[in-house]
Chains A and B, each alone.
Chain A
Amino acid sequence: SQELEQSPQSLIVQEGKNLTINCTSSKTLYGLYWYKQKYGEGLIFLMMLQKGGEEKSHEKITAKLDEKKQQSSLHITASQPSHAGIYLCGADLGGNNRLAFGKGNQVVVIP
């Protein structure tokens, strides 16, 4: 079974619109990482969250880790074509630096 569930699996948004994607675990997240990937390429680090309730922002992207540390959301404000790609969440689920990943959220931004 998948340890990290990402939803929605894919979404299409119009340029300028906001979007939110989610990453949910049945276990406590000791560290939660968001990456972005263009198909067939390496992963680009976006943000890391470690504390319950933590929120970080970079440019138009904001990520939050809920208080119980079992879910994270990533919000993009006023989406642009450059935001298109696959967003992957990764997490340390056992506190032993063994990092698992979800299946990803495919984001398409229509001009």
Chain B
Amino acid sequence: DGGITQSPKYLFRKEGQNVTLSCEQNLNHDAMYWYRQDPGQGLRLIYYSQIVNDFQKGDIAEGYSVSREKKESFPLTVTSAQKNPTAFYLCASNVQTGELFFGEGSRLTVL
């Protein structure tokens, strides 16, 4: 079945460490997105990519990095520069102006 797979579902990290969250889709969607969710904050856009080898910063890109080397994959790296990385991270994809399909999310906790 087609869909979006995020991994890992839960991740613990020590302060000062970088961590990469995986997002893979087999829906043949051109656009992919990363959102961060904190309690009471809704979803905030980190980065998005409309096409392979191209991506744009969202509203809260500082401390994060992404790559889009393949259409199916859009990994997110949370760097040590991100001051408050503990959050729930959601990956999504769509075709232009279409419904966003979401993964199940990755919960990152910094110890």
Asked if B97 is an interface residue, CB under 8 A from chain A, the answer is yes
Report whether B97 and A100 are in contact in the complex, using a CB–CB cutoff of 8 Å.
Answer: no
Report whether B105 and A41 are in contact in the complex, using a CB–CB cutoff of 8 Å.
Answer: yes
Report whether B99 and A48 are in contact in the complex, using a CB–CB cutoff of 8 Å.
Answer: yes
Closest Cβ of chain B: how far from A92's Cβ, in Å?
Answer: 7
Rounded to whole angstroms, the CA-CA distance of A98 and B33 in the bound complex is: 9
The binding surface of chain B is classed by DSSP as: strand
Closest Cβ of chain B: how far from A20's Cβ, in Å?
Answer: 19
Rounded to whole angstroms, the CA-CA distance of A101 and B58 in the bound complex is: 12
Report whether A42 and B103 are in contact in the complex, using a CB–CB cutoff of 8 Å.
Answer: yes
List residues 59-111 of chain B with CB under 8 A from any CB of chain A.
59, 88, 90, 92, 94, 96-105, 107
Number of A-B contacts (CB under 8 A): 57
Closest Cβ of chain A: how far from B53's Cβ, in Å?
Answer: 17
Q: Which one of A35, A41, A99 has the highest number of Cβ atoms from chain B below 10 Å of its Cβ?
A: A99
Rounded to whole angstroms, the CA-CA distance of A45 and B98 in the bound complex is: 11
15 residue pairs bridging A and B, Cβ less than 8 Å apart = A6-B42, A33-B99, A41-B104, A41-B105, A42-B102, A42-B104, A43-B90, A43-B100, A45-B99, A48-B98, A88-B43, A90-B43, A97-B96, A101-B43, A103-B40
Residue total for A at the interface (Cβ-Cβ under 8 A): 23
Report whether B100 and A99 are in contact in the complex, using a CB–CB cutoff of 8 Å.
Answer: yes
Contacts of B17 in A (CB 8 A): none
Asked if A102 is an interface residue, CB under 8 A from chain B, the answer is yes
Given contacts A98-B48, A98-B58, 14 further A-B contacts (CB under 8 A): A31-B97, A33-B99, A41-B105, A42-B90, A43-B100, A45-B99, A45-B100, A48-B99, A90-B43, A97-B50, A97-B96, A98-B45, A101-B43, A103-B40
